[in-house]
């Protein structure tokens, strides 16, 4: 795993090596893509959230994400039918917002970004034929993406595209769409579980997500399985007791 004091290129290379070691026999589409966004958020400097947007037919959706900020801003763009993540996914162009407070494109979206304290963002298209998708990175600071950071983001986008391309070696295009739909279903279960925690414990969406993430780490169980257990039983799984 990358260490905090490593230069960004070295951290990126190490993270990409870890991603390349993941095998299709042990991972599904959604877990491979989740690994990419997790590595992106943990490797790039500053406080960032990351997601992958996918257009299934004409319907945009967020397949995987690292935090509530990324999900909220993705969906804010979907509601409006435009924004940096949709532009990158549909045109194949990298889109950077250096400061949402002064950005003149998408004037009905950028105030939402400022409200959520995401002052800069980077949307990187996934280099694949036949699929409109993009890697989105949201940062709390303005001008968060220098040349080295943009280069690293492109590498993570290529890694996500490679994961999808490798899946094509084993599945038909119809099977790929089914896997992406499964990723969306997993996200829906997580959203339901967050809603339960927000209502019961009076938490914010971010706090509810972190509560689920902590339970996942403590129990060494996938976050979606923790969420599914809560939705089905109404109870949070308890971590195993240490002897």
CATH code, domain with 214: 1.10.10.10
Instruction: Establish if 240 belongs to a structural domain.
Output: no
- How far apart CA 183 and CA 236 sit, in angstroms, is 22
Task: Please tell me whether residues 202 and 138 are part of one structural domain.
Answer: no
Q: What is the DSSP string of 174-228?
A: HHHHHHHHHHHHHHHHHHHHHHHHHHHH---HHHHHHHHHHHHHHHT--HHHHHH
Torsions phi, psi for 96 (to 5 deg): -120, 135
Give residue 68's pLDDT band: very low, low, confident or very high (50, 70, 90).
Answer: very high
Alpha carbon of 12 to those of 7, 32, 54, 103, 139: distances in Å?
9, 17, 24, 29, 18
* Domain identity same for 191 and 162: no
pLDDT value for 242:
53
**Sequence-ordered list of residues with C-beta below 8 angstroms from that of 145, at least 6 positions apart, any chain:** 96, 98, 120, 122, 137, 139, 153
- The answer to whether residue 120 sits within a structural domain is yes
**Does residue 176 sit within a domain?**
no
Mean pLDDT score of the chain: 85
Query: Burial, 146: exposed, middle or buried (Cβ in 10 Å; 0-12, 13-18, 19+)?
Result: exposed
pTM for the full model?
A: 0.69
Asked if the structure places residue 175 within a domain, the reply is no
Which residues share a beta bridge with 211? none
Higher local confidence (pLDDT), 236 or 70? 70
Phi, psi for 24 (deg, rounded to 5): -65, -25
| Whole-number pLDDT of residue 1 | 47
The string of pLDDT tens digits covering residues 181-208 is: 777 778 888 999 999 999 999 999 889 9
Q: Which residues pair with 124 in a beta bridge?
A: 135
Residue 238 CB neighbour total at 10 angstroms: 9
Q: Tell me: do 132 and 22 sit in the same domain.
A: yes
Ranges 63-77, 134-148, 225-239: which has the least confidence: 225-239
In-domain check, residue 243: no
Look at residue 2 in the predicted model and tell me its pLDDT.
Answer: 47
Structural domain span for residue 200:
187-233
Instruction: Give dist(CA 97, CA 84) in Å, integer.
Output: 8
**Tally of structural domains, the chain:** 2
Neighbour count for residue 129 (Cβ, 10 Å): 6
Identify which of 14-18, 46-50, 70-74, 128-132 has the greatest average pLDDT. 70-74
Q: In CATH, what number is assigned to the domain containing residue 77?
A: 3.30.450.40
- In this predicted structure, what is the pLDDT of residue 5? 59
Considering the domain architecture, whether residues 141 and 85 belong to the same structural domain is answered as yes
Residues 143 and 199 occupy one common structural domain: no
Tens-digit pLDDT profile for residues 93-124: 999 999 999 999 999 999 999 999 999 999 99
24 pLDDT tier (thresholds 50, 70, 90): low
52 and 157 share one domain: yes
Residues 125 and 208 in one domain: no
- Asked if 195 and 166 sit in the same domain, the reply is no
């Amino acid at each position: 795993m990358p260490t905090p004091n490593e230069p960004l290129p070295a951290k990126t290379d190490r993270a990409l090596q870890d991603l390349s070691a993941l095998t299709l026999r042990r991972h599904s589409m959604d877990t491979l893509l989740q690994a990419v966004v997790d590595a992106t958020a943990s490797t790039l400097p500053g406080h960032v959230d990351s997601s992958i947007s996918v257009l299934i037919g004409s319907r945009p959706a967020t397949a995987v994400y690292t935090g509530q900020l990324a999900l909220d801003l993705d969906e804010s763009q979907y509601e409006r039918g435009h924004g940096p993540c949709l532009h990158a996914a549909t045109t194949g162009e990298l889109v950077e917002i250096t400061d949402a407070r002064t950005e003149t494109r998408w004037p009905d979206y950028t105030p939402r970004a400022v409200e959520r304290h995401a002052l800069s963002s980077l949307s990187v298209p996934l280099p694949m034929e036949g699929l409109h998708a993009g890697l989105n990175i949201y940062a709390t600071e303005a001008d968060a993406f220098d040349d080295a950071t943009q280069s690293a983001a492109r590498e993570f986008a290529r890694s996500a595209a490679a994961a999808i391309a490798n899946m094509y070696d084993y599945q038909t295009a119809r099977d790929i769409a089914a896997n992406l739909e499964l990723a969306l279903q997993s996200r829906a279960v997580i959203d339901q579980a967050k809603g339960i925690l927000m209502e019961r414990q009076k938490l914010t969406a971010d706090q509810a997500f972190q509560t689920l993430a902590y339970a996942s780490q403590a129990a060494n169980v996938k976050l979606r399985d923790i969420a599914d257990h809560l939705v089905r039983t109404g109870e949070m799984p308890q971590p195993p007791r240490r002897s």
